[in-house]
Amino acid sequence: MITKALKFSLAAMIAVAAASPIQARAEARPLWVMSYNIRYDNPDDRPDWRARRDPMARQIAFVAPDILGVQEALLPMVEDLSRALPGYAHYGVGRDDGAAGGESTTIFYRSARFERLRAETRWCSPTPERPGKAYDAALPRTYTRIVLRDRSSGALLDVRNAHLDHVGAESRRLCARQILDQGVWPGARLIVMGDFNSAPGDPPHAVMTAERSPVRDARDSSRIVFGPAGTFNDFSPGAPPAGPIDYIFIDRAFEGLRFATLTDTENGLAISDHFPVVAEIALPRPGLPVQGARAGRRR
């Protein structure tokens, strides 16, 4: 069963949403995006994955995101969530070998709403098509990219989900730069999410939110913000003492409606060692041009 703390946290988010005067644009339904470092399946963890997977699946199902990016997801964990979350398709590969080995940055998306046009995994390195680590990274680091078409509105989304290195500062900066320098699908709007292992103002966050960047921090640009700033909890149910390291960055053409850090627990225990972040965004009106400097850019 979901605990009272979980019910209170999610109920509070829904109450805020219900009380808001913000109305969805008639042209396209708002988009809910969720980013979640789900903690790899470490048998020494307490609670371990077997204790966490069902509460996590219920938490995700309650939020019902249209797009979900997970980090530290071993492929058997992805399959556990896939079985528990009908209606979602997903794509992601292991970072160790580009197949089943190691953690993935898998993206889930609602298959009834979206058609997938492209899917790929890139490694944070000068040879992004090949598995391996680079720069000062302790581990191979990847970001997953999928291009989606909204079946009803025709809107195109270029979505990227990343997990930056926990040790290498240069790796983090260069990976953030690489994510933005990869060309955006022609006519698409960009969404970047993930665990950046970086605080606001650190070089990766500065890269993503620079004046010439095509994206901005959803937390900073949303009308309603709910929950603590911190996202890494180290399996403690209390509010994290530090600021965020998990982010959702949204195309500057999007309107940020609501943003939340969810501090839900199960039996008094955190569901992961990170709290997930969620954002509701309004898509731009049909016909609004995508800036030519970004669309189809290749560097």
Which residues have C-beta within 8 Å of that of residue 260, sequence separation ≥ 6? Answer: 13, 225, 226, 227, 277, 278, 279
Give a yes or no: residue 288 inside a domain: no
Give me the DSSP letters along 82-93.
HHHSTTEEEE--
Average pLDDT score over residue span 113-121: 98
Which tokens go with 295? 């669309």
Domain membership of residue 135 (yes or no) is yes
Mean pLDDT of the chain: 90
Q: Is residue 295 part of a domain?
A: no
Coil, helix or strand for 79? helix
25 in a structural domain = no
Please answer whether residues 251 and 279 qualify as being in contact, where contact means their C-beta atoms are separated by less than 8 angstroms: no
State which amino acid sits at residue 90.
Answer: H
Note the pLDDT of residue 284.
85
Is 217 domain-assigned? yes
> Do residues 187 and 157 make contact, with C-beta atoms less than 8 angstroms apart?
no
Give the pLDDT confidence of 45-94 residue by residue, as tens digits: 999 999 999 999 999 999 999 999 999 999 999 999 999 999 999 999 99
**DSSP characters for 160-199?**
EEEE--SS-HHHHHHHHHHHHHSPBPTT-EEEEEEE----
pLDDT score recorded for residue 241: 85
Read off the pLDDT of each residue in 245-269 and give the average, rounded to a whole number.
Answer: 96
Taking alpha carbons only, the member of 196, 204, 171, 218 closest to residue 67 is 218
With a cut of 50, say whether residue 295 has pLDDT above it. Answer: no
147-198 pLDDT per residue, tens: 999 999 999 999 999 999 999 999 999 999 999 999 999 999 999 999 999 9
Give the span between the Cα atoms of 249 and 194, in whole angstroms.
9
Q: Is the pLDDT of residue 222 over 70?
A: yes
Answer yes or no: is 297 within a domain: no
Q: Is the pLDDT of residue 203 over 80?
A: yes
CATH number at residue 92: 3.60.10.10
If one counts the domains in the chain, the total is 1
Q: What angle do CA 183, 186, 191 make, to 5 degrees?
A: 65
Domain of residue 121: give its range. Answer: 4-18+31-282
Rounded Cα distance between 116 and 101, Å, is: 24
CA distance 285 to 53: 38
Rounded to two decimals, the pTM is 0.88
Q: State the pLDDT at residue 134.
A: 97
26 domain-assigned: no
299 found inside a domain: no
